[in-house]
């Protein structure tokens, strides 16, 4: 991470409307250089639309954003030459080979002719694509396509990399390898903005924003987010977890119960006093043998808590 923590991406009141639909609503961002920053949210939460505005591909309905000090409205064409962008759907030419795709991208970004060959050779080695150099992109496996797309996105060595759901079509091992590459890029100073709906991926980010229905409902490091939610989290380990869940489901103080194997994760607002004792007493009265302890929130707990709070506030 950049020790000076200069701001690479900034947005104020960023809003995008499509007719009566507000896809992104008044989003503020300050993303430090050299960090991996995540957008966490379900489909339709505004992640892709926000990224496209920050890339200069969409003009905001209102608000403003700067990327590397460049105004995304006024300097969108110049900005596109300085950033890397990888879409969720494979967007390279499937009827071209790996080599031909990378050559074409190098020409798009006007890499000096003397540098193109060396840069392509370096990337196909780094991304384990040497054996596929003359293979058509459309015949590659999901993991190979992902590596090719990332190689193309960083071919011109951008300072900022935008990744929109980049691992949605690959297996867990490829996802893990992909993230190792992202950490290496960040260590070298690249600022990375990645959208995801995977909780484990979001937990890898240095900081993240949680988006819900176009609104930024929380942001910070995973640790900060866990400390700041308005609920306590309790874990129940029971011999009969379903019986335990049924005994607790009518407790009005409980805002969420999730079963994970033999465990239950329970959210209760912080203003509720004696929550731990209440859970233990309810289970005991239902003849459920269980161990109950308060635990630190994971990202799924955080996501449920902050989205519930936001929707409750909007409804009131």
Verify that 142 and 212 share a domain, yes or no: yes
Rounded-to-integer distance, Cα 208 and Cα 7, Å: 15
The average confidence (pLDDT) of the chain is 93
- Token pair recorded at residue 53: 């505005």
Per the model's pLDDT, the better-predicted residue between 207 and 315 turns out to be 207
At residue 57 the predicted structure's pLDDT band, cuts being 50, 70 and 90, is very high
Which residues, 6+ apart, have CB-to-CB distance to 243 below 8 Å? 286, 288
Average confidence (pLDDT) over 188-206: 94
**Matching residue, tokens 């890339």:** 55
Tokens of 85: 């962008």
- Is 216 in the same domain as 246? no
Does 147 map to a domain? Answer: yes
Q: Is 315 among the domain residues?
A: no
- Are 89 and 134 in the same domain? yes
Q: What per-residue confidence (pLDDT) applies to 6?
A: 93
pLDDT at residue 3 in the model: 42
Provide the residue range defining the domain that includes 245.
230-296
Distance CA 55, CA 72 (A): 7
Q: How confident is the model at residue 172 (pLDDT cuts 50, 70, 90)?
A: confident
Q: Please determine, for residue 2, whether its predicted confidence score (pLDDT) is greater than 50.
A: no
303 part of a folded domain: no
Q: Point out the domain boundary residue: 221, 243, 259.
A: 221
Q: What is the pLDDT of residues 219-277, one digit of tens each?
A: 999 999 999 999 999 999 999 999 999 999 999 999 999 999 999 999 999 999 999 99
Residues 111 and 253 in one domain: no
What's the per-residue H, E or C state across the chain?
CCCCCCEEEEEEEEEEEECCEEEEEEEEEEEECCCEEEEECCCCCCHHHHHHHHCCCCCCCEEEEEECCEECCCCHHHHHCCEEEECCCCCCCCCCEHHHHHHHHHHHCCCCHHHHHHHHHHHHHHCCCHHHCCCEHHHCCHHHHHHHHHHHHCCCCCCEEEEECCCCCCCHHHHHHHHHHHHHHHHCCCEEEEEECCHHHHCCCCEEEEEECCEEEEEECHHHHHHHCCEEEEEEEECCHHHHHHHHCCCCCCCEEEEECCEEEEEEECCCCCHHHHHHHHHHHCCCCEEEEEECCCHHHHHHHHHHHHHHHHHC
Q: Give 113's pLDDT tier (boundaries 50, 70, 90).
A: confident
Residue 310 lies in a domain: no
pTM for the structure as a whole: 0.91
| % pLDDT > 70, the chain | 98
CA distances from 312 to 78, 142, 304, 307 (A): 42, 40, 12, 8
Total domains present in the chain: 2
> Regarding predicted confidence, which is higher, 5 or 231?
231
Task: Check residue 173 and give its pLDDT.
Answer: 86
pLDDT score of 169 more than 90: no
Mean pLDDT of 187-194: 96
Residue 1's pLDDT band (boundaries 50, 70, 90)? very low
What CATH code is carried by the domain that includes residue 190? 3.40.50.300
């Amino acid at each position: 991470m950049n020790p000076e923590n200069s701001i690479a991406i900034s947005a104020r009141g960023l809003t995008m409307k499509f007719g009566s639909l507000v896809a992104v609503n008044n989003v503020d961002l300050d993303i430090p250089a050299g960090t991996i920053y995540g957008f966490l949210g379900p489909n339709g939460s505004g992640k892709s639309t926000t990224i496209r505005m920050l890339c200069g591909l969409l003009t905001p309905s209102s608000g403003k954003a700067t990327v590397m000090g460049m105004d995304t409205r006024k300097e969108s064409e110049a900005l596109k030459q300085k950033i890397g962008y990888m879409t969720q759907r494979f967007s390279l030419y499937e009827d071209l080979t790996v080599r031909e795709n990378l050559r074409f991208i190098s020409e798009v970004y006007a890499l000096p002719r003397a540098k193109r060959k060396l840069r392509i050779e370096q990337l196909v080695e780094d991304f384990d694509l040497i054996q596929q150099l003359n293979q058509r992109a459309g015949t590659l496996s999901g993991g190979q396509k992902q590596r090719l797309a990332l190689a193309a996105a960083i071919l011109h060595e951008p300072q900022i990399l935008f990744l929109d759901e980049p691992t949605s079509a690959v297996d867990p091992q490829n996802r893990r390898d992909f993230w190792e590459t992202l950490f290496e890029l960040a260590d070298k100073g690249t600022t990375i903005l990645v959208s995801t709906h995977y909780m484990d991926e979001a937990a890898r980010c240095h900081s993240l924003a949680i988006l819900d229905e176009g609104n930024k409902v929380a942001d910070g490091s995973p640790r900060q987010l866990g400390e700041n939610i308005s609920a306590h989290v309790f874990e129940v380990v029971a011999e009969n977890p379903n019986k335990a869940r049924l005994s607790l489901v009518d407790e009005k103080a409980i805002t969420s119960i999730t079963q994970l194997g033999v465990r239950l994760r329970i959210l209760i607002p912080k203003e509720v006093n004696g929550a731990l004792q209440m859970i233990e007493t309810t289970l005991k009265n239902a003849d459920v043998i269980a161990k109950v302890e308060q635990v630190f929130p994971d990202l799924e707990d955080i996501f449920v808590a902050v989205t519930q709070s936001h929707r409750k506030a909007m409804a009131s």
